[in-house]
Amino acid sequence: MADPHAADPESAPAAPPSGTLPYAHIRVVEFTHMVMGPTCGLVLGDLGAEVIKVESIGHGRQGDATRQLIGAGAGFFALFNRNKKSLALDLQTPEGKEAVLRLIATADIVSENFKPGTMAKLGLDYATLKKLNPRLIYVSHKGFLPGPYEHRTALDEVVQMMGGLAYMTGRPGDPLRAGSSVNDIMGGMFGAIGAMAALAQREKTGLGQEVQSALFENNVFLVAQHMLQFAVTGQPAAPMPERISPWGIYDVFKVKDGEQIFLAVVSDSAWKLFCGLFGIDDLVGDPRLASNNDRVRARDWLIPALRARMAPFSASEIAAVFEANALPYAPITRPHDLLDDPHLLATGGLAPMTLPDGRATHTVLLPLTLDGQRAGLRLNPPRLGEHSAELLRELGYGDAEIENLMLLNQ
């Protein structure tokens, strides 16, 4: 039976061959877990880099703990670790440490997101490794850039609370984290951007460098528009549910049968068109609604009046009218509904993937194209240590040595 989530092969752009991707010649060794560090490797891996995920085992450790998460973390490993190889080693043993140092000697980039001091204890910090490999680019993903806060333990939710984002997302007096790991994901993306900049610099100097990305500073960048709003206007930004919208109609409407739909009418010509399409021409001539700014000032009475006018229509009826007339609208969609989204299916935004336990699913590709093609999936999220023997053999280990390392790791 055909997979209902499979993309139409005739309409979806094909993934470019691995060798044509921009970072196909780059080797990344990552010591990462959770979301931030793995996102950096995800970006570089999707763009062609060979990404080797070193997973620490032995002494009670069983690789990236994200593999075992449940609840809201259940999708972390599957999403952020595709296009990677897994090398499982006990880094507490001299043999494991030697193997990883051999690997790093062949790397262009090392990426890590452990607590400050962890990599130094292992002898895998930048100051140590650059002596082994001066061309090495070392990307550290932390909670805070160096400064007064750097000793603190950070999580996405922690920096959302202290960085103004939770204040802006929730209602007054009710701070609320965003509905995704926005700082972890973007922090990893900025780590990847920094690595790309360092690669370009290395072309000129022949030397690597250390790159740092941090959750808190990423969060501050996200709320910078509100910081600058205060600088420009002198007025503190109100939380999003209480903000003064720049548009007269920019709201979620509850319509027939309790359905919801988001509608936006953001220009004077769109306002006239909207009123004509839904038979509310009496409002077009109201001088209190002549311009968008007038409609913003009238929102207290205008939006309730429009809610009453729109309530008899179904969400699908409104959507059809808005789409036919190029007016912005959106259904209120749950994340899992996107697995059946016709646009994502038609454009190849969802790629077939096999989970480490063998189950088939789909994953979401990077939101960009290269020469009209999506950067696709080359490697499924790896099983723990799936590529250990292959990588160790490439590093010069013989079969007996590999077997001995595997025994040490048990």
The full DSSP string for 209-271 is -EEEEEHHHHHHHHTHHHHHHHHHHSSPPPPGGGS--SSSEEEEEE-GGG-EEEEEE-SHHHH
Give the global pTM. 0.90
* Residue 193: count of CB within 10 angstroms of its CB: 14
The domain locations on the chain are: 18-224+349-409, 245-335
Residue 28 phi, psi dihedral angles, 5° rounding: -115, 130
Which runs of consecutive H residues, i.e. helices, occur in 105-246?
A: 118-121, 126-132, 156-162, 165-169, 182-205, 215-222, 224-233
* Two structure tokens written together for 227: 């910081």
Given a contact cutoff of 8 angstroms between Cβ atoms, the answer to whether 33 and 65 are in contact is yes
- Is 184 noted as a catalytic residue in this protein? yes
Helix then strand then coil, % of the chain, to nearest 5: 45, 15, 40
* Two structure tokens written together for 99: 């193997």
pLDDT of residue 3: 45
Distance CA 4, CA 391 (A): 37
Q: What are the DSSP E strand ranges found in 44-149?
A: 50-58, 61-62, 84-89, 109-112, 137-142
pLDDT of residue 150: 93
* Two structure tokens written together for 329: 């609208």
* Two structure tokens written together for 245: 């919208």
- Architecture in CATH for domain 245-335: 2-Layer Sandwich (3.30)
Distance CA 44, CA 146 (A): 25
pLDDT of residue 250: 94
Question: What is the chain's length?
Answer: 410
First to last CA, the chain: 42
The answer to whether the Cα torsion of 338, 342, 346, 352 is positive or negative is positive
Catalytic residue among 64, 174, 184, 257: 184
Q: Residue-wise pLDDT tens for the chain (410 aa)?
A: 334 444 443 444 455 666 789 999 999 999 999 999 999 999 999 999 999 999 999 877 888 999 999 999 999 999 999 999 999 999 999 999 999 999 999 999 999 999 889 999 999 999 999 999 999 999 999 999 999 999 999 999 999 999 999 999 999 999 999 999 999 999 999 999 999 999 999 999 999 999 999 999 999 999 999 999 999 999 999 998 888 788 999 999 999 999 999 999 999 999 999 999 999 989 998 999 999 999 999 999 999 999 999 999 999 999 999 999 999 999 999 999 999 999 999 999 999 999 999 999 999 999 999 999 999 999 999 999 999 999 999 999 999 999 888 766 65
pLDDT of residue 410: 58
Given a contact cutoff of 8 angstroms between Cβ atoms, the answer to whether 16 and 375 are in contact is yes
Distance CA 173, CA 143 (A): 25
pLDDT of residue 4: 43
Which residue in this structure is represented by tokens 């010509």?
269
Distance CA 200, CA 194 (A): 10
* Two structure tokens written together for 147: 């400064």
The answer to whether the Cα torsion of 173, 178, 184, 185 is positive or negative is negative
Q: Quick one: which of 90, 93, 78, 202 has its CA closest to 137?
A: 202
* Two structure tokens written together for 133: 């490999």
409 sits in which H/E element: helix 399-409
42 sits in which H/E element: helix 36-46
Assigned CATH for 18-224+349-409:
3.40.50.10540
Strands of 249-254's sheet in order across: 249-254, 260-265, 329-331
